[in-house]
Amino acid sequence: MYVRNSQGFGEFVLSTRRPMYLAIGYAAAIIAMYRLSDGQWISLPWSLLTMLGLTLAITSGLKAVRTCGRTTDARRVWASIIAASRSWTLLSCNLPLDGQAAGKLVHRHLAWLAALRHQVRFSQEWEASRDRPNLAYGSYAMPEKESALAQALGRYVDATERRCILRADNKAGQVLVLQGKALTALVAQGGLDAASSLEMHRLLQQLQALQASTEQLKEDSHPRQSRFIGAALLWVFALFLPFGLLDALAPLVIFDDALMGAVASWCIVPLSALVTWLYLALDRAGQGPPNPFESSADGVSLPRICMSLEQELKGVLAEASGRVPQRVGPAVGVHMAAG
């Protein structure tokens, strides 16, 4: 997740430099052809460029609204997961259970968070993190790739439960199954009354629904047709732009003074590159990540959320045992690491 106030100008230019080189070279070639020939055949009505530019701006705006909606839905789901996690921890610590049983319930819930985070962060072929502009943006660590799920689960559950989780296809769902069995065992042992068990199972059902919502946001990507149409409109606009600018600046280009005409003609090169870059920036701002949980700078920072939540939940357990959890400093730039 990008945590600065705004993306820097240099960073954005770095990620879009290749299309800019193409736009400058293409516009320079068109102007050179115009200067070396009579130039009468190199012309397009400016009204055609106006129509294309308006269509491209509307399309990019609609994509931006859709991207913001998906990111907002993802953050809303994880806000609900945070609330349910706090409720689970408070119930586990306030129920008439011994400290070891309550700690196991909380740590098993942290294992569910780790399994769900790894489950929705694996790379798909259609994700934007594989695009060249995102790769050129910069290098940042992805905790789910640097450490395996087995290593993360080893911090929360024992070896038997870890093997059971890793064998399952839906690993996060398997953790919830183990939670349900643990609650049933506590009721059978007399350590948990029926009313409390019913409330804990209600929370498990809520966590299951939130997991399904997270998986849906992961799998339901943007339609690929809209991305192709947006890219096609952008390229057509960039290809026609030098011709349209020659038509718009015709009074200056065909000026009687040869020097003025040459200067006006070659000024079209940086002007065309600048307009192309602005529309490219608009398209990139509206494109966003198809999957809000992917490992891009624009995605939801699940490692940061899970890290903060883990410290908070362990802090509740630490208050009972007298231990003080370690605080994490603020993040800058792109926050990806889990600390």
The Cα–Cα gap between 227 and 231 comes to: 6
Token pair for residue 126?
A: 């259609």
Return the pLDDT at 143: 57
For the chain, the average pLDDT equals 78
Label residue 30 by pLDDT band (50, 70, 90): confident
What was the pLDDT predicted at 179?
93
Tell me: the pLDDT tens digits for 274-312? 898 888 888 877 666 556 776 555 566 777 788 888 888
- Calculate mean pLDDT across residues 55-78: 84
SS3 content of the chain, % helix, strand, coil (to 5): 75, 0, 25
| Mean pLDDT across 10-34 | 81
CA–CA dist 248, 172 (Å, integer):
60
| Residue scoring higher pLDDT (171 or 262) | 171
Mean pLDDT of 67-96: 87
Q: DSSP assignment, residue 128?
A: G
pLDDT tens string 199-239: 999 999 999 999 999 888 887 765 566 677 878 888 899 89
Whether 87 shows a pLDDT value over 80: the answer reads yes
Report the DSSP beta bridge partners of residue 334: 2
Distant-in-sequence, close-in-space partners of 241: CB < 8 Å, separation ≥ 6? 27, 49, 272, 275, 276
**Which pLDDT belongs to residue 310?**
87
Better-predicted residue by pLDDT, 143 or 301: 301
Q: Does residue 325 register a pLDDT over 50?
A: no
